[in-house]
Structure 1
């Protein structure tokens, strides 16, 4: 059973791993398994990693004791003209998080989300947003970390956390 992990800031070299975590996030439901190429070539998912690390991007990567990446949380800014799933307005970064299945429910996601929230607060952001599909067990986790639903869409909710 996994127990120990470390957290470090994401770098430009982490782009491929972040892509893996987009795939994990998109395939959250048991029995759902869209191939990596299908997820990442779809504009609605690829936007979260395309061109990583651009100005305004920030994130954290969790690694196991051997240094292998096991999860990541990061945020990006999107323009009103090309919003992400969880877009709520200009100047509010949208986050995405993914954790390898064997490491879920071991505190990895919580540690990543807290590190990312602290970073956003330090950078002067007042809020973070995200989008979660209805039925995703992560919605309860997000609520325990201070996120609240601010907008309901077709099959998904947009949640926001106030940082100050």
Structure 2
């Protein structure tokens, strides 16, 4: 079992690690993982980290006892002209979360998700959205934390949490 972890706010220097977490999120299935360059050269994935930290971006990073990053959750505002997988409208940040496989099912994702939701609420946002592929075990986490499916898609669902 992994040792304990703590969280800290994401910084501009975390952009590379956030890209790693996009790859982890995209490769959630145990079979057929795609290499980082294949995932991150695709605009559907790259938009979540390109130019990190832009105004309005916020996130948290989980680190282990040796100060190594093990997971991250962040949000960003994506324009209607370049929506993300979980885009629901202007003014609703889209959440992205990734956790290294060895740290999954140890509370890292839930801790990051709760911290990010509280931060978004404190910033005055009424909702957060995300997208999750059907069959992804993370969907249970999202449901248990108050996210609900608002737009079923082709193989993936958009989920939204009301923050106030």
Question: In which range does the TM-score fall when normalised by the shorter chain?
Answer: over 0.9
User: Which TM-score applies when normalising by structure 2?
Assistant: 0.99
**Which residue number in structure 2 is paired with residue 41 of structure 1?**
41
**Which residue number in structure 2 is paired with residue 122 of structure 1?**
122
The whole-number CA distance in structure 1 between the counterparts of 2:158 and 2:78 is: 15
For 1:4-153, what aligned pairs fall within 5 Å after superposition? 4-153=4-153
Aligned pairs, how many? 164
Q: CA deviation at 1:79?
A: 0.9
Q: CA deviation at 1:32?
A: 2.5
Q: Which runs of 5+ in 1 are unaligned?
A: none
The whole-number CA distance in structure 2 between the counterparts of 1:136 and 1:3 is: 25
Q: Which runs of 5+ in 2 are unaligned?
A: none
The whole-number CA distance in structure 2 between the counterparts of 1:48 and 1:39 is: 12
The whole-number CA distance in structure 2 between the counterparts of 1:80 and 1:153 is: 17
